[in-house]
Amino acid sequence: MATRSGALQTIGQKIRHLLSRRDFLRLGLGSAWGIVGLTASSQARHLPTPASPHTAGNMALVGHVQHHTNGFDPMHLLVDWDYGEARTLPHGQVVREYTIVALDKEIEIAPGIVFPAWTYNGRVPGPTLRCTEGDRIRIHFTNAGSMPHTIHFHGIHPFAMDGVPGAGPGEIGVGESFTYEFDAEPFGCHLYHCHAIPLKRHVHKGLYGAFIIDPRVGRPPARELLMVMNGFDTNFDGENEIYAVNTVGHEFMRRPIPARVGERVRIYLINMTEFDPINSFHLHAEFFDYYDHGTTLEPTLRRVDTIMQCQAQRGILEFTYRWPGQYMFHAHQSEFAELGWMGKLNVVEPQHFAAALAQAGVDEDWDRRATQGSTVSGEKGV
């Protein structure tokens, strides 16, 4: 079995070299030959379906990813805020404790395409750590993976807590633990990632996540969604074959994200794409205000419909749809969009909202998490 699988991979690689990345995936060869991690028997269940005008000539709507097997669902990652275990100290400061474990894990990133990821807590992106500015943050990190790792936070903290080789404990070895601790500042839309060497390999394998620090004064009520733009180099040639927000290519084309006409939508957008210098976000049929890094309460850019981000750049988008419809959003590098970084918002009138939730396979709890965001008290556990 191993030999046959290896032979299939070799043939797949040869074909891969003869075709562009786009053709490779459009022809369904990614799933037919298995780029990595597939056995011959699992490949047999994922034979290619020819592209047709009804699938817009791409792989968008062919097949499904087994979210249950992955252990996470991109639709839930949109709203899965992790406030940690919180308590208030006598002098009034809130302490939040989080547990993060680095684990090697195979994840399905497009129908039939399995990627051997390195993860924080078994998911890519890792948990969305959320707190309020001034909170004391304590992250208990254990490395249960196969390589040394770290957690490097974007934020303000002492040198020893920087999570890079040569600072504090440096790289955390396999089987070792360390607790990172600092006060959360400044408020904004931030991130964390492994900073072990070689950096691009550790980041690209999936060791990154969002770190949202809410301003003490809060933000206006909105439907809040986390989107981490990422890419996957499935054959390790230094280029990405799959692009996505929240890891699974085209997932939000298959399951448009529910929203209501007239409500404010706030997207926390982070670019963690490796190998490509930039990524971008384009919104259809509306314009948005943009808060660069989320570190201001006033927009840093008003009324735009496209934003460009280098790796680790991030920001907050706010917009409101006037009319119902299924509005696309995607990278405006067409290649990225065709290879998975494309989705839809399903904007509906209130009477159709329950149906939109059901269509997307989510429930009222998902809606509650989307709309409670930074503004509803009690949810943050103190």
Residues binding Cu ion (CB under 5 A):
149, 194, 196, 202, 207
Choice between 118 and 252, CB closer to Cu ion: 118
Would you call 113 exposed, middle or buried from its count of C-beta atoms within 10 A (0-12, 13-18, 19+)? buried
Q: Cβ of residue 126: shortest distance to Cu ion, in angstroms?
A: 12
Q: Cβ of residue 118: shortest distance to Cu ion, in angstroms?
A: 6
Q: Cβ of residue 154: shortest distance to Cu ion, in angstroms?
A: 16
Residues 206, 201: Cα–Cα separation, whole Å: 9
Residues 77, 252: Cα–Cα separation, whole Å: 12
Comparing CA positions, the residue from 145, 80, 153 lying closest to residue 119 is 145
With vertex at residue 117, the alpha carbon angle to CA 18 and CA 59, rounded to the nearest 5 degrees, is 45
Check if the beta carbon of residue 73 is closer than 8 Å to that of residue 107: no
Q: Cβ of residue 196: shortest distance to Cu ion, in angstroms?
A: 4
Comparing CA positions, the residue from 47, 133, 70, 42 lying closest to residue 96 is 133
**Which ranges constitute the DSSP H helices of the chain?**
2-18, 21-26, 29-33, 40-44, 67-70, 74-77, 199-204, 251-254, 334-338, 353-360, 364-372
Phi, psi values for residue 313, rounded to 5°: -75, 150
Choice between 81 and 178, CB closer to Cu ion: 178
Choice between 190 and 202, CB closer to Cu ion: 202
Residues 273, 308: Cα–Cα separation, whole Å: 12
Q: Cβ of residue 104: shortest distance to Cu ion, in angstroms?
A: 11
Tokens matching residue 50: 């020819």
Choice between 207 and 259, CB closer to Cu ion: 207
Q: Which residues neighbour 285 within 8 Å (Cβ) at sequence distance 6 or greater?
A: 321, 325, 327
Q: Cβ of residue 143: shortest distance to Cu ion, in angstroms?
A: 8
Choice between 207 and 360, CB closer to Cu ion: 207
Q: Cβ of residue 323: shortest distance to Cu ion, in angstroms?
A: 46
Choice between 21 and 149, CB closer to Cu ion: 149
Choice between 53 and 175, CB closer to Cu ion: 175
